[in-house]
Amino acid sequence: MIPHLVTERLHLRAWKDTDFEPFAALYADEAGARYIGGACERDEAWRRLAATIGHWTLRGYGLWALEAKRDSAFVGWAGLWNPEGWPEPEIGWTLVAAARGQGLATEAAQRARAFAYDDLGWTTAISLISLPNQASVAVAERLGARMERTMMFRETETGIFRHPDRDGNISFRRRLD
CATH number of the domain where residue 93 is located:
3.40.630.30
Domain assignment present for residue 32? The answer is yes
53 three-state secondary structure: helix
Domain that holds residue 76: 5-123
pLDDT, position 169: 86
Element (H, E) at 130: strand 126-130
Predicted pLDDT of residue 174: 55
Q: What is the pLDDT of residue 155?
A: 80
Instruction: Say how many CA atoms lie within 13 Å of 115 toward its Cβ.
Output: 24
| Inside any domain, residue 159 | no
Task: Examine residue 50 and state whether it is found in any structural domain, yes or no.
Answer: yes
The whole-number pLDDT of residue 143 equals 97
Residue 130 lies in a domain: no
Integer Cα distance of 43 and 134 in angstroms: 29
CA distance 131 to 155: 12
What gap in Å lies between CA 15 and CA 12, rounded to an integer? 9
User: Could you tell me if residue 89 is inside a domain?
Assistant: yes
Within-domain flag for 77 = yes
Count up the domains in the chain and report the number: 1
* Per-residue model confidence as pLDDT tens for the chain (177 residues): 899 999 999 999 999 999 999 999 999 999 889 999 999 999 999 999 999 999 999 999 999 999 999 999 999 999 999 999 999 999 999 999 999 999 999 999 999 999 999 999 999 999 999 999 999 999 999 999 999 999 988 788 899 999 999 888 888 765 544
